[in-house]
Amino acid sequence: MDSPIKKTQFKRVTRRELLKLTPVAALGAFAIPSLQKPLLKAGLGFSDWASAKLFRTQHLAPTFDDSELTPFEKFPVNDYDVDDPEVELDNWTLTVSGAVQKPGDYKLVAIQQLPKVVRNTRHVCVEGWDVIGRFGGARLSDFLKMIGADTSARFVYVECADDYYESIDMATALHPQSMLCYEMYDRPLTREHGAPLRLTIPTKIGYKQAKYLTDLKVTNVLQKVGYWEDQGYSEFYGL
Amino acid sequence: MAGHVVAVEDVKSGERTDVAYEHPFIVRLCHWVNAVALFVLIGSGLQIFKAFPSFGAKIPQHNLINWPKSLALGGWLGGALQWHLTFMWIYIASGFVYIGYQLISGNYKQVLFGRRDIPGVWPMVRHYFFFAPKPPVNQPYNPLQKHAYSSAIVLGAISVATGLAIWKPVQFSWLAWLMGGFHWARLWHFLIMWALIAFIFGHLVMIVIHGWNNFVSMLTGWKKDPEYHLE
């Protein structure tokens, strides 16, 4: 055993060692009401940044056999307001604006003329449930090409008949599985599932998959991010 | 050097006490950061669970398990996710710094449960749970303690892996697959939380039993009257 040290000296040592832990107290900033909101916003922002970095443009979401499909009747209907915003299906058009060469009103047949894709993918809700559904429609990337969208713009922003709104980052919008969906389970979209046109993006969380689309804008600037995002949910939420 | 015993002498009375430096600074720092992070992650996790408590498809929804709102953190799903997605980075960072430090410094030998510790587990269990006499102490952590801490570190790593599989089931689809699928990953994440809660409970009970000196050692690094000074 070494020669003994003095008690006074030992007290100094332990006090110094204790003080070295003061950085831990910085976490207490999260308990201060005025700091809590910006700190959590920064934390969520960092998560979104990491999400965008983890996103791989050509990495496909898993697809499933028909036997693994959730029965259509069991596919949940989730909306923030009404199941049926009473879209006039006969006169419906998608109004396209923003950084595109061919803005204007697009009828459903124009979208249906694009190559049709049908696949079974998982729909994951932020609440914690998920289902596997069968979706049919046109690739969002094909539609963006058709309208002459500037794909160097940052976002595709959509508005809906029920006043819901959403934005998708361009990398995700161009992903091969991102879809303007007009069919579920090989039948035209029903009203509660977003007739006549909705987004289906298997690399994103459920609230990004807006229903009852009415407007689509290609833009670099967002006035609003999305209905849930503007209340504090993740803006990117890639899966 | 961890576990190194020295004597402290009170010059006036001539009284001597043995002290040992048990917990290096980085270990203490990570311990407390991790304690705060885990507290926040469990609280916000309980709130996230409340949004949809049955792990299945939305219909029908059963409240299989329920707990008072006061135990949850974040107030609503969006708020809880903010806490969870913020403190997971703090949790992961403290975990990486801790494991990195332990490996580089060699201090892991103090805590890592190994083959040599196996024979010592049963005597400690007998001591704690069946009132058998305490086996002689010759190191900072006894074999049962090493087992508990090593397990907790493994649980921590699995909690991160399962969390990643739920958060990013597309980018890390192989992780979800490894856990038996997306639904299982969610269930594992939930069960790991309970395992960690069980660890924390046992940990707190032991702290109360072993007294003030033991608690202070995680603050200053130094433990008064370590039992292994006789060796």
Closest CB from B56, B88, B170 relative to A203:
B170
**Beta bridge partner(s), residue B36:** none
Pick among A1, A6, A14 to test the B interface (most B CBs inside 10 A): A14
Whole-number Å distance between alpha carbons of B220 and A15:
7
Q: B57, A14: Cβ pair inside 8 Å? A: no
Whole-number Å distance between alpha carbons of B47 and B227:
43
Domain span at residue A70 reads 59-231
**Max CA distance (Å), chain B:** 75
Q: B7, A2: Cβ pair inside 8 Å? A: yes
Structure confidence by residue, pLDDT tens digits, A120-151? 999 999 988 889 999 999 999 999 999 999 99
Give the whole-number percent of chain B exceeding pLDDT 90.
43
User: What is the per-residue pLDDT for A2?
Assistant: 62
Nearest CA-CA distance, residue A221 and chain B, Å: 24
All residues of chain A having their beta carbon less than 8 Å from the beta carbon of residue B170 are 59, 61-62, 202-203, 238-239
Q: Residue A15: inside a domain, yes or no? A: no
Pick among B170, B177, B183, B193 to test the A interface (most A CBs inside 10 A): B170
pTM given for the model = 0.89
Q: A20, B186: Cβ pair inside 8 Å? A: no
Q: Residue A21: inside a domain, yes or no? A: no
DSSP characters for B97-108? HHHHHHHHHSTH
All residues of chain A having their beta carbon less than 8 Å from the beta carbon of residue B19 are 10
- More confident position, A87 or A34: A34
- More confident position, B93 or A88: B93
Question: Distances from the Cα of B125 to the Cαs of A43, B132, B199, B228, in angstroms?
Answer: 42, 9, 15, 19
Closest CB from A15, A21, A30 relative to B32:
A21
Closest CB from B57, B171, B182 relative to A55:
B171
- More confident position, A1 or A196: A196
Averaging pLDDT over each range in A78-82, B3-7, B211-215, which range is the top one?
B211-215
Q: A127, B10: Cβ pair inside 8 Å? A: no
Helix (H, G, I), strand (E, B) or coil at A81: coil
Nearest residue in chain A measured CA to CA from B185:
A128
User: What is the per-residue pLDDT for B231?
Assistant: 39
Mean pLDDT of chain B: 86
**ipTM value:** 0.89
Nearest CA-CA distance, residue B12 and chain A, Å: 10
Q: Does residue A89 have a pLDDT over 80?
A: yes
Task: Please return the burial class of B87, using the count of CB atoms within 10 Å of its CB with bins 0-12, 13-18 and 19+.
Answer: buried
Query: Domains in chain B, ordered, with CATH?
Result: 24-211 (1.20.950.20)
User: What is the per-residue pLDDT for B79?
Assistant: 92
Closest CB from B6, B83, B221 relative to A5:
B6
Q: B83, A124: Cβ pair inside 8 Å? A: no
Residue B71: closest CA among B25, B105, B33, B40:
B40
Instruction: Report how many domains make up chain A.
Output: 1
All residues of chain A having their beta carbon less than 8 Å from the beta carbon of residue B90 are 27
All residues of chain B having their beta carbon less than 8 Å from the beta carbon of residue A21 are 28-29, 32, 219
Q: Residue A151: inside a domain, yes or no? A: yes
Residue A129: closest CA among A64, A78, A188, A69:
A78
User: What is the per-residue pLDDT for B230?
Assistant: 42
Whole-number Å distance between alpha carbons of B156 and B195:
10
Q: A7, B173: Cβ pair inside 8 Å? A: no
Structure confidence by residue, pLDDT tens digits, B175-217? 999 999 888 898 899 999 999 999 999 999 988 888 888 888 8
| Peptide bond before residue B60 is cis, with ω within 30 degrees of 0 | yes
- More confident position, A7 or B166: B166
Whole-number Å distance between alpha carbons of B28 and B91:
14
User: What is the per-residue pLDDT for B27?
Assistant: 93
Whole-number Å distance between alpha carbons of B205 and B195:
16
User: What is the per-residue pLDDT for B62?
Assistant: 63
Q: A239, B169: Cβ pair inside 8 Å? A: yes
Cα angle at B29 between B84 and B115, to 5 degrees? 95
Handedness of CA A177, A183, A187, A193 (dihedral sign): positive
Residue B1: closest CA among B30, B23, B18:
B23
Residue B32 CA to chain centroid, in angstroms? 10
User: Where would I find the beta strands (DSSP E) of B109-226?
Assistant: 222-224
Helix (H, G, I), strand (E, B) or coil at A233: coil
- Can you tell me which residue has the tokens 């932020």? A126
Side-chain-side CA neighbours of residue A137 (13 Å): 28
Residue type, B25: F
User: What is the per-residue pLDDT for A209?
Assistant: 94
Nearest CA-CA distance, residue B82 and chain A, Å: 6
Q: What is the mean pLDDT of residues B47-65?
A: 67
Q: A21, B28: Cβ pair inside 8 Å? A: yes
User: What is the per-residue pLDDT for A186?
Assistant: 94
All residues of chain A having their beta carbon less than 8 Å from the beta carbon of residue B65 are none
Nearest CA-CA distance, residue A13 and chain B, Å: 8
Q: Residue A131: inside a domain, yes or no? A: yes
Q: A18, B48: Cβ pair inside 8 Å? A: no
Confidence bin at B129 (pLDDT 50/70/90): confident
Helix (H, G, I), strand (E, B) or coil at B73: coil
Q: What is the mean pLDDT of residues A157-165?
A: 93
Q: Residue A204: which CATH number?
A: 3.90.420.10
Give the whole-number percent of chain A exceeding pLDDT 70.
99
Q: Residue A13: inside a domain, yes or no? A: no
Q: Does residue A210 have a pLDDT over 90?
A: yes
Strand pairing class (A155-160; A165-169): antiparallel
Q: What is the mean pLDDT of residues A184-189?
A: 94
User: Where would I find the beta strands (DSSP E) of A41-171?
Assistant: 94-98, 104-106, 116-124, 130-139, 155-160, 165-169
Nearest CA-CA distance, residue B134 and chain A, Å: 25
Number of helices (H), then strands (E), in chain A: 5, 11
| Token representation of residue A169 | 């980052």
Structure confidence by residue, pLDDT tens digits, A170-184? 999 999 999 999 999
Mean pLDDT of chain A: 92
User: What is the per-residue pLDDT for A75?
Assistant: 85
Rg (CA), chain B: 21
